[in-house]
Amino acid sequence: MNRIQIAPSILSADLLKLEEQVKLIAAQGADMIHVDVMDGHFVPNLTFGPNMVAALKRITNLPLDVHLMIENPDHCIEKYVKAGASILTVHQEVCTHLHRTIQAIHSLGVKAGVSLNPATSLTTVENVMEDIDLILIMTVNPGFGGQKFIPQGLNKIAKAKKMIEKTGKDIFLEVDGGVNPDTVEAIVKSGADLLVAGSSIFGQEDIVKAFHELRKKAEKAASAL
Ligand code: DX5
Ligand code: ZN
């Protein structure tokens, strides 16, 4: 079992206190910072661009886990790499030539991830499993923080875990959406090893306490495996 990693999502941070909050969560032991890029087309919300990634890069050494919820990601992967992304994750639903997109990300020297919406089957990524560094299972419909975890996701996480094991490679199994102290145990027990958490960390009054509560529950669940 890999160590459980936590990637707090700045989508739920206070943007006017972003530097302070990112530094605070980094000091608590966050493993990565999750950056949700939304284009207002693929998802009904608009968020950050490469300039946000570049700004974060200046204030933290943590890997920047960039989740591209955008159409035509091929057009801008280079911009996000130059800005400082460590992992670039694209959505299967918008990549007609997914294998080519993964290769393009790798050629720029960063890790490549593929994300699946709740309604998208794992079979759509079966043929690229060997090529990716991360699979991101969405457990809400992407676009907003603070949504309710979709429980059918658990079965999908378990299936993804089996697919990863079959490759014999070290591939992150990331889960995004509705990860909180009530859902984390089942998520970890299903096989996730990288947890995105927005509202359950940055959305809380005491983000330090919230981070440690989530970490503790995640580690307890992992130790029982
Ligand atoms: C949703 C984003 C998530 C979001 C998760 O579309 O991809 O990363 O920040 O938010 P929570 O953790 O609040 O469900
Ligand atoms: Zn995300």
User: Which residue ranges have their beta carbon within 6 Å of ligand 1?
Assistant: 9, 11-12, 34, 36, 67, 140, 142-147, 176-179, 196-200
The number of angstroms, rounded, from the C-alpha of 216 to the middle of its chain's C-alpha atoms is: 19
Sort 29 into a burial class: Cβ within 10 Å, 0-12 / 13-18 / 19+.
exposed
Number of the ligand 1 atom closest to the C-alpha atom of 12: 9
Q: Please list, in sequence order, all residues whose beta carbon lies within 8 angstroms of the beta carbon of residue 112, skipping any fewer than 6 positions away.
A: 87, 88, 89, 90, 101, 102, 105, 106, 131, 132, 133, 134
Which ligand sits nearest to residue 65's alpha carbon? 2
The Å distance, Cα 45 to ligand 2 centre, comes to 12
Residue with the smallest CA separation from ligand 1 atom 6 is 142
Tell the residue nearest (CA) to atom 10 of ligand 1: 145
Rounded to whole angstroms, the Cα distance separating 222 from 2 reads 9
pLDDT at 2: 63
Q: How far is ligand 2, taken at its centre, from the CA of residue 176, in Å?
A: 6
Q: Where in the sequence numbering do the catalytic residues fall?
A: 36, 176
Ligand 1 atom closest to the Cα of residue 67 is 7
| pLDDT tens-place values along the chain, 225 residues long | 568 999 999 999 999 999 999 999 999 999 999 999 999 999 999 999 999 999 999 999 999 999 999 999 999 999 999 999 999 999 999 999 999 999 999 999 999 999 999 999 999 999 999 999 999 999 999 999 999 999 999 999 999 999 999 999 999 999 999 999 999 999 999 999 999 999 999 999 999 999 999 999 999 999 999
Please state, in angstroms and rounded to a whole number, the distance separating the CA atoms of residues 218 and 143.
25
Distance CA 84, CA 72 (A): 20
Residue whose CA lies nearest to ligand 1 atom number 4: 145
Expressed in angstroms and rounded, the spacing between residue 13 Cα and the centre of ligand 2 is 13
pLDDT of residue 57: 98
Centre of ligand 1 from the C-alpha of residue 128, in Å: 25
